[in-house]
Amino acid sequence: MDMNPFSPTPPDWAEKATHAVPFCCPTCQASPQVATQVWLNRRAPVFLEGFSRRKWQEFYLCECETAWWGWSNDRETPEWLRERNARRDAAENN
């Protein structure tokens, strides 16, 4: 079995993956951290309009055997937003 997430060829399980929003398993809501396999479609990045960065499809095979994918930019909160949330949380604790 090819476990390389950067493999140029998509694994068989990725072909029946469904687009999941939000960024977790659509069946059991597990986070991608518990996925048993991952594959990144780095061959076909999408350039975000107005941004100097790219997004790509990330495929996950969940431990419940559901195959799903999400856009890489849906995964992480941007740094500036994390900092703003942290400041707001700190203000609320005072």
- Exactly one of 66, 67, 70, 72 binds Zn ion (CB under 5 A); that residue is 66
By CB under 5 A, tell whether 38 contacts Zn ion: no
Regarding 62 and contact with Zn ion (CB under 5 A), the answer is yes
Taking each continuous run of H as one helix and of E as one strand, the counts in the chain are 1, 4
Closer to Zn ion at the Cβ: 36 or 85? 36
Joined together, the tokens standing for residue 46 give 């999408």
Binding-site size for Zn ion (CB under 5 A) equals 7
Task: Give which of 36, 28, 29, 32 is closest to 69, Cα–Cα.
Answer: 32
* Alpha helix stretches (DSSP H) within 1-94: 79-93
Residue ranges that bind Zn ion, judged by CB under 5 A: 25, 27-28, 30, 62, 64, 66
